[in-house]
Structure 1
């Protein structure tokens, strides 16, 4: 079967069996969390399966998004689409209207694929060529990720880099069938101001819009219906601003903090290769750079000219995620060997015969060799 026909058949299969495919994805993904430690090379098998699922899931997201786009343009949707997440609106804006949309999209995809596969690459290289080759591979991956991040910061007009760097799934597969169910035909009327007209359909997007006359509650000169309608469509300030304004341009200090955050992983790797992973200096240098980056990132005003406050924007979510990354320092050498590991071993030993709790601590015990042996499990990048 030619590749084009095979791809077309597979995409049709995904759309026709979206709910079942999603269920299989979730089930197999859950298995990857309990495989490590179960048999020889289980960690490699688990990581390979996890990477493959992420790649497939990314392709399925693309198939769903493309199908919904085609349906929107042809007017075949039988239900109203939910508003996409703000982060997806932001990324897709630069995919279509940025300085270099195609380059932004490609770099975002490359960065995402590297993040999905980095642990697997590290495992395979270490198993096949040894520890020295592993650190070469880690350095190359981090260099590639840093290059992507720096380029994305500049292509976005010097804005904060958000995670994930690629749009997430906007529509759950279970809902796809509901959107494409046959619906009763509606007249394709043009809004000419006639109060009897129920609405009009856009020629470019295929979306149906209510006419102003159908929104007003019937009172002559009353605009209460219009106000209520607009209020339901703009319940959050983020939903009415331009997607690029969801993340404002960075000031000089905050831009420096963003560059430091992007450079931190490769500086940490260079320090490890110079002084060793068990030395304190790489750990201290990385912590100092990350702390300085955060200090510069949160030192600016909490209110933006767009009217979107830092507390309600995508910036707050990203800053919160970065704050959690500090927990990885408890799992990195030499802090891990000196302080975290002895206490964790005592907890596991005390709870190994207790029901339920032993299941959780048993999984922790299975993951301990991974934290201790592989860089990307505790990289936080």
Structure 2
């Protein structure tokens, strides 16, 4: 028994290294394809699709952890993973915070869709949303201060920007992270600079002065927005009840007030201005580009969506419904509109 145990372990590890990554990659592609094809196909298809995406993201997170652990000693990680290893996985508080933040970000949309089906009171639903945003803000603050006041980058876990069958970097081949966008289910695209750049971990400098202020207000911004929406609903709860008896409400009526939208946008722009007052590394610049892209979500939130964006989308979809090629885009928009109309987190930018 004792002599055969090392042999069995060696055989298992050889099989693991040779076949496990390939099998997992096939399963990832299968689940991804199913999740993208589900929206709009049947009742509760949106919930099924988002559940599959969440499960796939968690599965990929575990898969990447296994692959990284198998070659942790000889891995020449690129800059992103070096940063994660140095600041988010070196001590247990940071490690726990980064893992919790990743899990929440991959499951929050599903959780909110379930809230819509279980809780009829909008103010109670937004109380849960404020709580989730508060937890995320606390976790980000933990990462921010435990990393020496360095910019909180996304995602907060190791990524597999590699060929999953070899776990070796391949800059010229397709670049695919081991995570999907929890909102769209499509793979994130890495910045090739971060694979080959000679940037060191020490080049990400602590935030100071206005840059420090900008990072903190960016972290708490989602909490402020959700809290203001919740208070708006509380003050107008009697009006909502009266309207619901006569006409069907739209899902985005929860955020149909200019004040939370404008305050949130001002905080985002203030944080953007403040962070520019300190030099940044390539890794931080990549993170800031991602945050700038998230500003587009303001077109899908609040009164701007109800008054402008929704009408533009409806006109476009109606006009292109029977036109070749363009109708494919219109169909996709109609299939995915329920996501950003029913879910705050889908367009939260947090």
Runs (4 or more) in structure 1 with deviation over 2 Å come to 9-17, 94-97, 129-134, 234-237
Structure 1 distance, partners of 2:101, 2:274, is: 24
Which residue pairs with 2:191 in the alignment? none
Q: CA deviation at 1:289?
A: 0.6
Q: CA deviation at 1:18?
A: 1.2
2:340–2:347 Cα contact (<8 Å) kept = yes
> Which of 286, 304, 318 is equivalent to 2:264?
286
Which residue pairs with 1:169 in the alignment? 160
Which residue pairs with 1:85 in the alignment? 78
* 1:223-262 deviation digits (Å, cap 9, x = unpaired): xxxxxxxxxxx97431xx3x2x131111111010000000
User: Is 1:102 matched up with 2:92?
Assistant: yes
> Which of 44, 47, 53 is equivalent to 1:44?
47
SS of 1:355's equivalent in the other structure is: coil
Structure 2 distance, partners of 1:66, 1:134, is: 39
* 1:282-318 deviation digits (Å, cap 9, x = unpaired): 1001001111011101123x3xxxxxxx3x5111101
Structure 1 distance, partners of 2:168, 2:284, is: 34
Structure 2 distance, partners of 1:376, 1:11, is: 42
SS of 1:237's equivalent in the other structure is: coil
Which residue pairs with 1:258 in the alignment? 215
1:14–1:60 Cα contact (<8 Å) kept = no
User: Is 1:237 matched up with 2:198?
Assistant: yes
2:22–2:165 Cα contact (<8 Å) kept = yes
Pick 1 or 2: higher relative contact order, CA cutoff 8 A, min separation 6. Answer: 2
Q: Against the structure 1 CA distance between its residues 354 and 128, is the aligned structure 2 distance closer, same or farther, given a 3 Å change threshold? A: same
Which residue pairs with 1:58 in the alignment? 61
User: Is 1:340 matched up with 2:309?
Assistant: yes
Which residue pairs with 2:284 in the alignment? 315
CA root-mean-square deviation = 2.6
* 1:184-212 deviation digits (Å, cap 9, x = unpaired): xxxxxxxxxxxxxxxxxxxxxxxxxxxxx
1:34–1:363 Cα contact (<8 Å) kept = no
Structure 2 distance, partners of 1:320, 1:177, is: 27
Structure 1 distance, partners of 2:15, 2:113, is: 35
TM-score of the superposition, structure 1-length normalised? 0.72
Which residue pairs with 2:30 in the alignment? 27
Q: Against the structure 1 CA distance between its residues 318 and 345, is the aligned structure 2 distance closer, same or farther, given a 3 Å change threshold? A: same
Unaligned runs of 5+ in 2: 1-11, 170-194, 234-254
SS of 2:165's equivalent in the other structure is: helix
Q: CA deviation at 1:279?
A: 0.7
Q: CA deviation at 1:12?
A: 6.2
Q: Against the structure 1 CA distance between its residues 96 and 358, is the aligned structure 2 distance closer, same or farther, given a 3 Å change threshold? A: closer
SS of 2:37's equivalent in the other structure is: coil
Which residue pairs with 1:126 in the alignment? 116
Q: CA deviation at 1:27?
A: 3.0
Q: CA deviation at 1:14?
A: 7.8
Structure 2 distance, partners of 1:356, 1:104, is: 48
Which residue pairs with 1:159 in the alignment? 150
Q: How many corresponding residue pairs? A: 294
2:210–2:274 Cα contact (<8 Å) kept = yes
Which residue pairs with 1:197 in the alignment? none
Q: CA deviation at 1:129?
A: 2.3
Q: CA deviation at 1:32?
A: 1.6
Bigger Rg over Cα: 1
Unaligned runs of 5+ in 1: 1-8, 73-80, 179-233, 303-309
Structure 2 distance, partners of 1:344, 1:171, is: 37
